[in-house]
Amino acid sequence: MSESIVIIDYNIGNLRSVQKSFEKNDCDAIITNNHEKILNADKIILPGVGSFRDGMDGLLNLGLVEILNESVINNKKPFLGICLGMQLMANRSYENIETKGLGWIDSEIVRFDFNLTGKDLKIPHVGWNSVTFEADCPWYKGIPNESDFYFVHSYHYSLNENVATGITDYGYQFTSSLQKNNLFGCQFHPEKSQEFGLKIINNFIAL
């Protein structure tokens, strides 16, 4: 019997491109915000592009925060947060206005600030950049260290716990991926990262 994998539809994000990355790995993943389907799923994906507040509003308005807490925190289902989906796992974000997150990772989401480095880099951080693996994370299996992945973001994690699995340099070093028990997150977009991005999706499927 094949596993059930769901991609959370909360009216934000590039859901179809994420779904296609699973299809390229010969895996069906359904896009849904149906509570029963999420509770019955074996693995859960939360993609996302856009603002932190819009993301949290989408989850709250659809009653998904309680469902995700039940599935991911209580029942320990493997969870993958992509870009904004990774950021929403934090305690809070300071994007535009302070907004409470899911609180799964002890962290704040902050804007790139190059004042201390003196570097003049564009925000958002857009394009290919390398990820240095900081820990033995199963979803990097078979991928060379310091491989390139595709990024689009203006905000990043400021971690208060040691859960980083990938570090990227853009003016300074920031956390570009993490793992905490059954929680996985990447700031980059694996669905847009060609060969190695598809490999990450395949490794997540194989967990």
- 36 is annotated as an active-site residue: no
| pLDDT on residue 3 | 82
pLDDT value at residue 120: 86
- Give the global pTM: 0.96
Q: What is the 3-state secondary structure (H, E, C) of 147-161?
A: EEEEEEECEEEEECC
Task: Determine whether 137 is an active site residue.
Answer: no
Q: Which of 105, 162, 167 is nearest to 134 (CA)?
A: 167
Instruction: Find out whether 166 and 176 touch, Cβ atoms under 8 Å.
Output: yes
Kindly report the average pLDDT of the chain as a whole number. 95
Catalytic position from the list 83, 95, 125, 156: 83
How far is it between the farthest Cα atoms of the chain?
55
How far is 100 from 17, CA to CA, in rounded Å? Answer: 28
User: Which one from 125, 153, 156, 189 is the annotated catalytic residue?
Assistant: 189
In the set 95, 108, 134, 191, the catalytic residue is 191
pLDDT at 46: 98
User: Would you say 182 and 56 are in contact if contact means Cβ atoms under 8 Å apart?
Assistant: no
Report whether pLDDT(1) > 50.
no
| pLDDT tens per residue across span 162-196 | 999 999 999 999 999 999 999 999 999 999 999 99
User: What single-letter DSSP state applies at residue 62?
Assistant: T
**pLDDT confidence of residue 134:** 86
% of residues, the chain, pLDDT over 90: 89
Provide the pLDDT for residue 182.
Answer: 97
Going from the N-terminus, what domains does the chain have, and what CATH number goes with each?
A: 5-205 (3.40.50.880)
pLDDT band at 138 (very low <50, low <70, confident <90, very high): confident
Question: SS in 3 state form for 164-191?
Answer: EEEEEECCCEEEEEEEECCEEEECCEHH
Q: Is 189 a known active-site residue?
A: yes
Q: Tens digits of per-residue pLDDT, 81-106? A: 999 999 999 999 999 899 999 999 99
Rounded CA-CA distance 84/109 in Å is 10
Task: Single out the residue of 47, 40, 41 nearest to residue 19, CA to CA.
Answer: 47
pLDDT of residue 94: 95
pLDDT per residue over 2-18, tens digit each? 689 999 999 987 799 99
